[in-house]
Amino acid sequence: MAWLSITLELEALQAEILSDALLEAGAESVALESTSKDPATLEPGARLRVIALARAAADPAALVAAAEAIAAIKAPRFTVAPLEEEDWVRRSQSQFGPIRISGRLWIVPSWHTPPDAQAIAVRLDPGLAFGTGSHVSTRLVLQYLETHLRPGDRVLDYGCGSGILAIVAGKLGAGEIAATDIDPQALATTAANAAGNGVDLSVAAPESLPAGAFDLVLANILADPLIALAPLLAARTRRGGRIALSGILESQADEVAAAYVRDFDARVLAIEEGWALVEGERR
């Protein structure tokens, strides 16, 4: 199958935001490359190359325009080049290796061997839904899970994407797990990834979620949807239960926390590389 490679170059934080928006707008996969001579170090003001994969029949201009609207960012000029299937697979696999989330938690693509046989390894490939563990907002929630999840917790992953949060919750000992997303492709991807990792969970559209409240609600989306979802997510969190919200820029964190203070003791718990995690306990 032939593909299109769409390449843009932006300041690092904007590149991360636009990469998420490109996935939401319909890109099949997105990779980030450093433009620095030392790719291991991102200095202030550093720029990243955003490389989006789209099917050959896609309209690149329409895809980028849709991502601009989602991210509220004006994208720079972009280049488009044809890419054959084997070229993309080789390129993608060379860029995605095991990701260490913490001392005992790794996200490992299927073409790699887990670096530590004693660690908790989640098998997950870059693909059609957001969430491979490489993005800071995802890592913040995964680190939260490792320190705050209690064995047997009933967990809801709202906006599940690839299912990574729900799967890690299962690996860490959660009880009943529900994952939901408005995107049917995300639901299918989550179900497949969960099966591949031996994690038992239910997958459903938001209107078909199982009844009742949860001990822990996770949502790694974006600030505006999180603010709008505050009443719904509060209703899904039992009294004394907890919520962890991510996908939030540091500058938006206080506004998101304020949207939840009616029902939660909400606070900004962590900030990393310009992204924030808001957590709260349901009153």
Q: Rounded to an integer, what distance in angstroms lies between the CA atom of residue 236 and that of residue 230?
A: 10
pLDDT digits (tens, 9 = 90+) for 75-125: 899 999 887 655 554 555 455 566 777 777 887 776 667 777 677 888 776
pTM: 0.71
pLDDT higher than threshold 90 for residue 191: yes
Instruction: Write down the pLDDT at residue 189.
Output: 87
Instruction: Write down the pLDDT at residue 41.
Output: 43
What are the percentages of helix, strand and coil residues in the chain, rounded to 5?
35, 30, 35
Question: What average pLDDT does range 42-53 have in this prediction?
Answer: 74
Instruction: Write down the pLDDT at residue 148.
Output: 95
* SS3 category, 16: helix
Number of C-beta neighbours around residue 26 at 10 A? 17
pLDDT higher than threshold 70 for residue 42: no
Is 135-282 assigned to CATH 3.30.565.10? no
pLDDT digits (tens, 9 = 90+) for 149-187: 999 999 999 999 889 999 999 999 999 999 999 888 889
Q: Rounded to an integer, what distance in angstroms lies between the CA atom of residue 260 and that of residue 276?
A: 15
Q: What are the domain boundaries of the chain?
A: 2-95, 135-282
Q: Which of 58, 14, 220, 249 is nearest to 129 (CA)?
A: 220
In the β-sheet with 120-123, what is the strand arrangement from edge to edge? Answer: 99-100, 105-108, 120-123
Determine what percent of the chain is predicted with pLDDT higher than 90: 49
Instruction: Write down the pLDDT at residue 38.
Output: 44
| 29-34/47-55 β-pairing | antiparallel
**Arch. (CATH architecture) of 2-95:** 2-Layer Sandwich (3.30)
CATH topology agreement for domains 2-95 and 135-282: no
213 vs 185, residue with greater confidence: 213
Confidence class for position 26, pLDDT limits 50, 70, 90:
confident
Q: Rounded to an integer, what distance in angstroms lies between the CA atom of residue 283 and that of residue 208?
A: 26
Instruction: Write down the pLDDT at residue 206.
Output: 95
Instruction: Write down the pLDDT at residue 39.
Output: 40
The answer to whether residues 163 and 194 touch, using CB atoms and an 8 Å cutoff, is: yes
Pick left, alpha or beta for residue 139 (phi over 0 → left; psi -120 to 50 → alpha; otherwise beta): alpha
Pick left, alpha or beta for residue 124 (phi over 0 → left; psi -120 to 50 → alpha; otherwise beta): beta
Instruction: Write down the pLDDT at residue 229.
Output: 96
Instruction: Write down the pLDDT at residue 4.
Output: 87
28 vs 138, residue with greater confidence: 138
CA 148 to chain centre: 19
- Strand segments, DSSP code E, in the chain are 2-11, 29-34, 47-55, 79-84, 99-100, 105-108, 120-123, 155-158, 177-180, 202-204, 214-220, 237-249, 264-272, 275-282
Most confident of 34-38, 79-83, 130-134, 179-183: 179-183
Mean pLDDT, all residues of the chain: 85
